[in-house]
């Protein structure tokens, strides 16, 4: 039976991932900065701030039975790269450095438990930049590249790595943004189905598929709508 740790499990996509894992019979460590906000019957709340090295190390000690690590915790500040540098650093600290810190701490745990799987929640913004999301795009591009590198580095211990890409999900993070939004329960199901199938990457929605396909073409085509005529 799977034993999973989900970061940022108290709300949004993380909560839906934890719910889907529980429905599939998994044991779930539901990690959050404030574990008292986790309201998932059957889950094991766990205090974890992924930007705090001591908290990450403590979580790896407490959750030594994990064979599925779901790195969902993330932040979006809306910072452009030429704007508030604290916001830029915050996004990289969580979406890249914090996620990498958790993987580094749990890699020996996964190895001891047979290899297991790491899931990193990235974004369609791993593959393009949009106005008002410069820092987020950079952080998620780094997250995607990290997944590809970790897949190679962890293969020797039998650990599989899955990168998940989506546009807007209907969660608190996207509450103030207009546009089509995917049901987070569907994102969770597709993600865990991909884990079961041994896939490398999950392209959740049509928008993400369009963005990824654009990478093979002249970038001027994609960015024409965002730039002055």
Catalytically active residues are 136, 140
CA dist 138 and 129 (Å) reads: 8
The residues that bridge with 71 in the sheet, in sequence order, are: 120
201: CB partners within 8 A, 6+ apart: 162, 163, 164, 165, 194
Calculated CA dihedral for residues 97, 98, 99, 105, nearest 10 degrees: 110
77: CB partners within 8 A, 6+ apart: 84, 87, 88, 90, 91, 135, 136
Task: Please state whether beta strands 3-6 and 201-203 pair in parallel, antiparallel, or not at all (unpaired).
Answer: unpaired
CA dist 139 and 126 (Å) reads: 8
């Amino acid at each position: 039976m799977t034993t999973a740790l989900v970061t940022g499990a108290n709300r949004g996509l993380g909560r839906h991932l934890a719910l889907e894992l529980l429905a599939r019979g998994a044991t779930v460590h539901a990690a959050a900065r404030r574990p008292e906000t986790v309201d998932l019957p059957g889950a094991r709340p766990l205090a974890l701030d992924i930007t705090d090295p001591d908290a990450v190390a403590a979580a790896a000690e407490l959750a030594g039975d994990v064979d599925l690590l779901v790195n969902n915790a993330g932040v979006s500040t809306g910072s452009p790269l030429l704007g508030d540098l604290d916001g830029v650093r915050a996004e990289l600290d969580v979406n890249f450095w914090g996620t990498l810190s958790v993987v580094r701490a749990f890699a020996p745990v996964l190895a001891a438990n047979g290899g297991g799987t790491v899931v990193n929640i990235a974004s369609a913004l791993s593959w393009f930049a949009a106005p008002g999301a410069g820092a987020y795009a950079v952080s998620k591009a780094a997250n995607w590249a990290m997944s590809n590198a970790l897949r190679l580095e962890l293969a020797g211990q039998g650990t599989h790595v899955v990168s998940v890409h989506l546009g807007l999900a209907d969660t608190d993070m996207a509450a103030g943004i207009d546009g089509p939004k995917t049901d987070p329960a569907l994102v969770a199901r597709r993600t865990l189905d991909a884990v079961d199938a041994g896939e490398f990457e999950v392209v959740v929605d049509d928008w993400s598929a369009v963005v990824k396909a654009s990478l093979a073409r002249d970038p001027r085509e994609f960015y024409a709508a965002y730039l002055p005529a």
